[in-house]
């Protein structure tokens, strides 16, 4: 089984210029809404170490982008290998922008497994998981869901709740018009790393050809109706590629309001999403980074240094460096830091000095 990670360096000047050119009268580009916070580093660490049975990890990015802090040659030879895929190659060379458009095309990755793990760069596997938690012995995918949708099949009406919205209803309506009412309950998809079926993508494209064209040409979510992974998950169950899992994988959703300096994840949580946006202030970056490093401290093969917002965490040749160092490591021998707790280190040094004086 493979994994697909959708990623983008939104600070890339070429990307910004191309996007502004193609968007024209669309919403002004907000770099802080999707700016670099180094989430991709931890997403890859989680997949690499906590799902070691993965065959390949595909990094789906814009044009020839690849993280500057990651050695592409080393990654391509690791186990599992991390392989760069240019997303415009999946759309006849045309640029893909909005997440619905990218999701609609990712099944075209050459050689992709029939069932695959799909992750955005801000979603993480923070605990070791077995392949059996994602797929049955018979090769049927185990799909995690959030909440079931309260739906009256006689009146075709929904009972509103905090989760339900027109966005979800549109997918349910599309499904009913094409396939009738299924023998499984409608549900909200999880906002986490999830399992997807390549065959379900093909079936949806065949069933909704015009809507598929609309979807892959989206610049964001400007249309009222388009294909989302909600519909794809429904079809994957309808056609037997997946089933609703009878064993729930515990997950946690955190956002920009979270106090990362004090928050602690319960030991039973396996999946995490940290959905940050423009309201997530720079002063909180340090707290967020330390929080994530504590969860996923081990670098993957090929990591060269740890950067975000033009700053980086690392040590010089195993000696302690300040918690935030401007620029990049000076030499190739500079090692990746696990963001040492400076206060703890100082206390240890003080204790060591006291012990030495006593002796």
Banded model confidence at residue 282, pLDDT cuts 50, 70, 90: low
Per the domain annotation, does 314 fall within a domain? yes
**Closest listed residue to residue 115, CA positions, set 234, 4, 248:** 4
The model's pLDDT over 84-117, given as tens digits with 9 standing for 90+, comes to: 999 999 999 888 888 889 999 999 999 999 999 9
Q: Is the pLDDT of residue 5 over 80?
A: yes
Percent of the chain, pLDDT > 90? 46
Structural contact between residues 287 and 274, judged by C-beta atoms closer than 8 angstroms? no
Banded model confidence at residue 159, pLDDT cuts 50, 70, 90: low
**Closest listed residue to residue 38, CA positions, set 340, 274, 320:** 274
pLDDT of 358 reads 54
What's the rounded Cα separation, in Å, for the pair 204 and 97? Answer: 20
**Closest listed residue to residue 164, CA positions, set 192, 196, 187:** 187
Relative to beta strand 242-244, strand 141-143 is parallel
pLDDT of 37 reads 64
Q: Is the pLDDT of residue 319 over 80?
A: no
Q: Among 197, 228, 244, which residue terminates a domain?
A: 244
Per the domain annotation, does 290 fall within a domain? no
The count of domains in the chain is 2
Domain hosting 321: range is 310-359
Percent of the chain, pLDDT > 70? 75
Average pLDDT over residues 231-260: 94
pLDDT of 10 reads 72
Banded model confidence at residue 320, pLDDT cuts 50, 70, 90: very low
pLDDT of 33 reads 52
Same domain, 94 and 194: yes
The model's pLDDT over 264-279, given as tens digits with 9 standing for 90+, comes to: 999 999 999 998 876 6
pLDDT of 334 reads 40
- Residue 23 vs residues 20, 42, 280, 351: alpha-carbon distances, Å: 5, 31, 25, 59
Same domain, 49 and 156: yes
Same domain, 186 and 333: no
Per the domain annotation, does 87 fall within a domain? yes
């Amino acid at each position: 089984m493979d994994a697909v990670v959708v990623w983008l360096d939104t600070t890339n000047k070429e990307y910004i210029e191309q996007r502004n050119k193609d968007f024209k009268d669309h919403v002004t580009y907000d770099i802080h809404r999707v700016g670099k916070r180094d989430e991709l580093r931890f997403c890859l660490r989680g997949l690499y170490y906590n799902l070691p049975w993965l065959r390949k990890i595909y990094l789906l990015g814009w044009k020839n982008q690849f993280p500057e802090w990651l050695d592409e040659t080393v990654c391509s030879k690791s186990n599992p290998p991390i392989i760069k895929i240019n997303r415009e190659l999946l759309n006849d060379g045309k640029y893909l922008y909005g997440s619905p458009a990218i999701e609609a095309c990712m099944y075209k990755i050459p050689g992709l497994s029939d069932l695959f793990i799909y992750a955005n760069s801000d979603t993480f596997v923070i605990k070791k998981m077995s392949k059996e938690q994602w797929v049955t012995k018979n090769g049927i995918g185990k799909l995690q869901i959030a909440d079931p949708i309260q739906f009256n099949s006689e009146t075709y009406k929904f009972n509103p709740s905090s989760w339900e919205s027109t966005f979800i209803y549109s997918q349910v309506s599309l499904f009913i018009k094409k396939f009738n009412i299924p023998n499984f309950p409608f549900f909200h998809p999880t906002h986490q790393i999830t399992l997807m079926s390549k065959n379900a993508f093909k079936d949806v494209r065949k069933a909704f050809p015009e809507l598929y064209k609309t979807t892959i040409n989206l610049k964001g979510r400007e249309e009222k109706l388009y294909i989302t992974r909600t519909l794809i998950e429904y079809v994957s169950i309808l056609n037997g590629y997946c089933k609703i899992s009878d064993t729930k994988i515990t997950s946690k959703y955190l956002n920009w309001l979270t106090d990362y300096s004090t928050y602690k994840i319960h030991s039973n949580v396996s999946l995490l999403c940290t959905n940050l946006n423009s309201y997530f202030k720079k002063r909180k970056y340090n707290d967020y980074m330390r929080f994530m490093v504590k969860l996923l401290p081990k670098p993957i093969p090929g990591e060269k240094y740890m950067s975000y917002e033009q700053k980086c965490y690392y040590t010089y040749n195993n000696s302690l460096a300040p918690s935030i160092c401007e620029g990049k490591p000076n030499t190739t021998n500079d090692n990746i830091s696990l963001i040492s707790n400076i206060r703890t280190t100082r206390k240890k040094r003080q204790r060591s000095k006291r012990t030495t004086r006593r002796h």
